Structures are given as structure tokens and as C-alpha cells.
Structure 1
């Protein structure tokens, strides 16, 4: 048996009220008021496609053996680097080693489903596993329909032949250069075409074409589909497509437009994780990805479906939320306004690539050291053991610490130093089992941090080097209750 073996999801905590967006923009476009229901997920200033991919990957690895992963694909249309393999950064942050195949898959809203089909068709022998991570952080024009309906998020899947939770039954692709939107090489914002035309000429023709071919090929009736995943920011379109295919209306998976928005190329995989959480053994799941044609993939839930649930999953990620009605902060975090940052924000943050490479074990993988002589854990790793009663030379083995919980020993809230979301919180973190490190804190709500508070670690943007178009990543601590 071959198919999906694990899944994970991540949705940023911040949920911007759509009413706040409409309040700021309906003076120009009154129709936005009709979309002002619910909320959309929004990245913090130090989150992007890579950091969300790491979060989703960690959730997937909570039930998947990292040592078995030999392939990692990252699917997104909003990759931070155009000429640097983003999937390598994700793989090293996840401590997947240096003997795996990595690939970035982009340029279409069906990038994730196409990558998934490639993995499924390639197959994996023995106990090896392929991992797909899909992540999206799309920028939109102020006061646009897209700003109201889109959201940020990521999801991850494990693919292999051991502990299969959803058996792969087949796939089909219909290719058609139907341009519903596009983004040229000199633009950071999408240009979209008319909604009704996209529905009638796109979804209602492309998806049934591919799905009918697949169902006929595998000998499955449309009426037997229990979960139908079709990502779209058009609320009624998935139901219309299902009706045309004669798939039961109750099988259509909610697109979660009201609670998070549509996360672009990642959204089919995000919704698939939602379907996997509720599927029962024997139920059929039909996944569709739309963009210059359609991908469709058919799965059958196995008796393992309820036994391999991730630490957070889709429901947990959706529930972990912080309401926000500050539209100006959203604009600032997404560089949609030019904000005065003050003199301290003008400092040159040049990236010293040689130094970064030499310390990539700490900076990206967050690996400390554990002394073979006395068992002392320390971070950063050094030539000598920090235990004054030991002091052994070259005695430390690699000790991954990104998933180890810690506690705040000291902390400071600084409004003098520059931070994109002041005040800047930083302090000393002590890790369970040993090791201390001065770290930045992120997503701290006032009054939520004190000495002794438990923290978890998250891979985030540390600094932007805007002069050279580079961004530096490191791990930050977040109060665990948030």
C-alpha cells in the first residue's frame, strides 16, 4: 500500500477582522462591505513562506520519523528567494540531514498538487518517505477583493508505504493555459480577471474534465466521494462543481474563507489536512488543484487514519488565534505602505555569508552540543565543555534543540532599539535538560511574559538586509500559552 503517511498544518496566529479592512476602504469601494464577514490569517512581520513551511513541517514530523525522509518538495508561488533553493533552508531548519533530494515547485496555483502527484507517481521503496510542504504568503492591493478573501498558511504531507493513512488510488491532470490571474517578473502583486468568467470558463469546465477522466479510470462513482477538496476564493464555486460532477453536496470540504481566507497554492493541501482529520476508514477523498488546468488525486482512508494525528493539525492551528483589528499594522507588515522607521531602523544589516555558512548548524538547524564525558548540554556548541568540573576538549556531539521546551530566565521589553513591532522583547532562555541562550521573543502579548514562563521555539526572520535583497533567519522564543 502506498499513499499519505502523515500530515501537519500551520496558520499564523494573527486573524485580521475583515470589518477593519472594509472600514478603511469602503469609502472608495462600497462593495467591500459585502465581504466583511469573518477574519483572515495574516503573517507576523517575521513570518514568510519559509518560516510557515518549517512550522507545518515540524507538525508533520510530530508523527513522522525525520530520519526516513529522503525527499522534500516546497510548493509556493511566493518564495522569498528567486535564486536560492528555499526548500534547502526548510530542510536544514527541520534537521533532515544532507542526503535528501530537495526541490522548489512554483509558478501555478496547482504547484502543490502537481508536486504531490510527482511524489505519488515516483513511489518510494523500503521505509523511505517523501515530504511535501506547501506554503503561501501573498501580497494584495489595498482595498481589493483579494485582500478581503485571501489568507496566509502552510501544510505538509508525508508520502510513503508504511503506516499509510490515505491510500493513493490514482490521479489525472488536464492542462489548459487558462489565465485567471498572473504576476509578471517585475511585479509583486497579482493581476486578476473577472470572477464570473473564471468560474464559468475555468472551474466549471476544467475541474469536471479532469475529475471525470480520473473517476472513469479508477472505476469510482462520483456519488461515492465522501470528501471533495477544491480550493477557491469563490464561496459557491466548489458546490457548483460538485453538482456538475454529481458529487454529494455534503462531501464538499469547507474552504474556510470566513475563518482564515484562501492560502493560494498551499490551500488544497491545507484543506486536505482538514479532510484527513475528519475522514473515517474506507472513505474516498478527491483532491483538486486548479491553475492553468486541473490536477485531481483520489485517496481512500485506511484504518490508520485516526491513529496518526499530528501534535497540532489543522483544527489546532485554526483554533490557535489572536484577533486583530489593526489594519495599519497589516499594511506595514506586508510593505504596502512606506513607514518611517527612524534612524535606528536605517542601520546597514549586511549579511556576512561566510560567517552564516560556518554557523549554519546553530543559525538554521539550532543544534547545540552534548558532552560525551559528563552529559552537559550547551548552546552554542563550543570546543570546550562549559561544565567547570569537566572542561573536556572536542567532546560534544550534535544535540538538536529546536523542539526542546524552555523557560524564561530574564527578559526585557525595549522601546529604544528598532523593532518592526515594538517593543522588542529579548532575554535569557533556559532549556529543559540544560543549555542557555540569549534570544529574541516574538508574538508576545503585553503581560504574558515573566521569569519562569514556558516558551517554545519558532524559526523566524531575524533581520531584513534590504540593500542587498537578503533576509536572515534564526530561532525565536514564544510564550507557550499563546
Structure 2
């Protein structure tokens, strides 16, 4: 049996209320919020976070392949998947691939992973899906596009799978739009009503009807129908057109995170599985110049996997609100601050120290037990050369910190806390704090590590780890302008 062994989600730590957009451009008021990635986030960093969530409790060395799906890959000639695989500490002898250019790239990746595992060419393939699409400023698209990521682990281990993939059905359709050419800063459209009616509606109903006919699925048998939708109205029309029960409807989360693009169906799946019993029939579909639809059947393992995940309601509670629209524009680099100096980076150093920089390895001395970061040739305490490389924990407490006021061009919130962190399990590191108000920094508070873009020195994009406060029971303060 080939099925879904695990899954993960990542929602950025910020959101923008649509009323802030309305107020800025004198648009009609619109309810709800959209998810907003931080200035140091992109599709790679969000994919890493979703991948880490998916692999929680699973040995990364079990993974035989990684597929990265995104319409906004940071690199157009350099494989993004290989970088993500390195950060997640996967083996070197695995298959990797980037699947891009369509909002159904996530379901395309799922289809390829299913075929590969089903053919016996791999046992476990991790799919990470992420998008960070920019809407044209002062248009209605600003209300629609959100940021986020998801991950799915496809496996042949039927004893571990929470949902069996019974099969799929795909169609391809040439549509006018939406589209984004090379060099375009935002997505373009021909005519939204035309694209929705003759592109989305036609393709989605066709692929779902084809899947249900192929596997003889009656509408009343469907427990959950998960499918991409550009807006809530279209989502409801598909449900009605397919004669599915309202109980089968899955919230598209448009009012909370908006349309996140390619990861949206998998983020909806994360929410839907929370309410799925075992042996439930689930439909999963993605759209973009055609469509893919999958027939899933939940197993007795579904409750165990769901219980191991963070509940969706908690994810939404941890998101902070950006109150000022200008802060959002600065976040998207529409408004740029003064650059105080040009960042530099050494390609040789990044290559040489990649094991410390990306999967976050240090060394533990076998003589005195002290853990050193980064990887060093000798122990800093006893000078012994008898040590072993260990992957450090991504959680710790602040030992001390300082506030840096000289990086206004690189962060939305300043000053920036620079924190010395004592990690759980050993090791001390110096990291910037992100996704926070500066006053969040305090000695002895718990922080978690998060993978972020640090600069574009050397003409490339460079990544490293930062820290962020672990959400407490107290309500997080809203982000002030």
C-alpha cells in the first residue's frame, strides 16, 4: 500500500487585516485576514519549516527523496530541493526535484511521489510545498494572496500510513490566466470571471467527476472534499456542482490566510484530517492549467497521527497582526529602507561549513562531554580531539542578549535582539531574533530556532538559523507600527 505517512503545515507568524488594505486605498471594506511571511522568509524557508513539522518523530535518514513544489522558487537555476534536503539532514543518495510554474505543482509532486513509491523505486518521499506570491499593489489581488507552506510524506509502509492513496485522475487544460512571466513582480490576469468560469470551474468539476467515475465513488460516500479554490464563492459552487454533502465541505481558510497558492489543498487537508474518522473517503484536488484529483482512504492510524500534530486552532492563535499597512509594504520591499553597507558572503566558507550552517551540527567531546558549535577540530574546554558530530536541538533559553539599532533596512521591527542561546542538550549559539517585538527578548525565556534568509551577499541568497520566542499562554501582543 502506498499512502500518506505524515504531513505538516507552516503558517507565517504575521497576518494583515483586509480592512487595513481597504483603508490605505479607499477600497470597500472587506472582512478577514491574509497570512504574511516575514521579510526574511521565502518559499525555501517556509518549506523547511513545513518539512520539519512533517518529519517530527521520524528519522530523516529514512527519506529516499524530496520534491519541492512552488510557483515562487527563490532560485531559477540552482535546485531548491537539494538545499532543503541538506537543511532537513536527509541522506545524499536520494532523488530530489523542483516542480514549479503552476498552482497544481503540489498535487503534481504528490502524483510523481505516488508513482515512484508504487513502482518500488523508493519507500519514503517527502513533498514540501510553499508559495510567497506578490500581488500588484492597489488592486483587489491584495485581498486574495497569502503566504504559507505544507508538507506530505508519501510512504510504502502501510502500518504507518494514516491515509491510503487509492489512485488519482489528471487533466490538462490550456487557460488564459493567471500567469507570471519571467521578470514579472506579480501575477497577471486576463479577466477573473472568465478565468474562474472557463478555467477553474470547468477543470475542477471535470477532474472530480473523472475521479469519481474511475473509482465508482458516489457523492454521498465522500466524507471530506478538499480542493483548491481561488475564492470562497467558487469553493461553494464546486461543492454544489458535484452534489456533495455540506458535511463534506472543508474550510478553505480564506478568511484567515487567504489563497496561499500551491500549498492550499494540503493545508486544508491538515485541518480536514482533524475531523476524519478511520475508513473515510477523502477527495484531494489541485488546480492550475488543468487539475489533479486523488482518492484517499483514511486508516486506523489517522487518530494517532492527528494527535501528534499541533491543533489548527492553536496555529491561528499564535499569529500576530500587522496593524500598519506601511509596515506590510516595507515587509514586501515595496518601501525600502536605507542600506548602510553591502553584505558580503564567502562561497567557500558556506560550502566548507555547510554541515554546521544548514542541518545545524556541532561536536560533542567524548572526553569531557562539552558540546561545541560550530564544528571545531578540538574541544574548547579540554582540547581533546576525541569527539563526535551531533545535530543540535532547535530549542533553548536566552543566556544574554543585546539590541541592535543598526539594521533598519533588513528587518521590519527594530531594534533587533542579538541573543546568546543555551540549547537543550548542550551547545551555545549567537542568533538574531525574528518574528517578535524587540521587548520580547529577555534572559531565560524559551526560544525555538527557525530557518531564515539572512542576506544576499555574494550575489546569491544565503540562509541560516534565527530564533523566535516560543508562544506562551499569554496572548501575544499585536505588532505596532
Relative to the length of structure 1, the TM-score reads 0.93
Tell whether the 8 Å contact from 1:38 to 1:258 is kept in structure 2 after alignment: yes
Q: Which residue of 300, 307, 328 corresponds with 1:303?
A: 300
Q: Is the 8 A contact 2:117 2:124 kept in 1?
A: no
1:159 to 148, 154, 158: 154
**Take 1:354 and 1:195, find their aligned partners in 2: how far apart are those partners?**
48
Q: Measure, in 1, the Cα distance between the counterparts of 2:297 and 2:430.
A: 48
Is 1:189 the counterpart of 2:189? The answer is no
Cα distance between partner residues in 2 of 1:15 and 1:438? 28
Question: Which shifted more, 230-239 or 166-175?
Answer: 230-239
Does the 8 Å CA contact 1:370/1:397 hold for their aligned counterparts? Answer: yes
Partner of 2:332: 334
Residue 206 of structure 2 is matched in structure 1 by 209
Flag the 1:314–1:105 CA change in 2: closer, same or farther, 3 A: farther
Does residue 13 of structure 2 align to residue 22 of structure 1? no
| Unaligned ranges ≥5, structure 1 | none
Alignment of 1:75-474 (within 5 A): 75-123=69-117, 125=120, 128-162=123-157, 163-309=160-306, 310-312=308-310, 314-337=312-335, 339-341=336-338, 345-387=339-381, 390-393=382-385, 395-401=386-392, 403-418=393-408, 419-421=410-412, 422-465=414-457, 469-474=459-464
C-alpha spacing 1:113/1:366, structure 2 compared with 1 (3 Å): same
Q: Which moved more, 1:208-217 or 1:159-168?
A: 208-217
Once the two structures are TM-superposed, the CA of residue 234 in structure 1 deviates from its matched residue by 1.9
1:127/1:340 Cα in 2 relative to 1: closer, same or farther (>3 Å)? closer
Matched residue SS, 1:270: helix
Q: Distance in 2 between matches of 1:448 and 1:51?
A: 23
Q: What value does the CA root-mean-square deviation take over the aligned residues? A: 1.7
1:395-436: CA deviations, max 9, x gaps? 2222111x4321111111121344423112102111122211
Give me the TM-score of the superposition, normalised by structure 2.
0.93
Deviation at 1:316, TM superposition (A): 3.7
* SS of the residue 2:465 aligns to: strand
Q: Deviations over 1:432-452 (max 9, x none)?
A: 222112211112224322111
Post-superposition shift, 1:313? Answer: 5.7
Preserved contact between residue 71 and residue 102 of structure 1 (Cα < 8 Å): yes
CA distance in 2, matches of 1:316, 1:296: 29
What is the aligned residue count?
466
CA-CA distance at 1:271 after TM superposition: 1.3
Deviations 1:450-476 (A, max 9, x none): 1111111000111133xx642211101
- SS of the residue corresponding to residue 23 of structure 2 reads helix
Deviates most, 198-207 or 375-384: 198-207
> What is the rounded CA distance, in whole Å, between the counterparts of 1:225 and 1:311 in structure 2?
24
- Where 2:439 maps in the other structure, the secondary structure is coil
CA distance in 2, matches of 1:205, 1:424: 49
1:285/1:335 Cα in 2 relative to 1: closer, same or farther (>3 Å)? same
**How far, CA to CA, are the matches of 1:113 and 1:211 in structure 2?**
14
CA contact (8 A) 2:61 2:89 kept: no
Secondary structure of the equivalent of 1:409? strand
| CA offsets 1:110-169 (integer angstroms, 9 cap, x no match) | 000011011112225599311101001011111222211211000001111221101111
Q: CA deviation at 1:319?
A: 2.9
Q: Is the 8 A contact 1:8 1:313 kept in 2?
A: no
Aligned: 1:47 with 2:44: no
Q: 1:408, 1:451 within 8 Å by CA — same for their partners in 2? A: yes
Unaligned stretches of 5+ residues in structure 2: 473-481
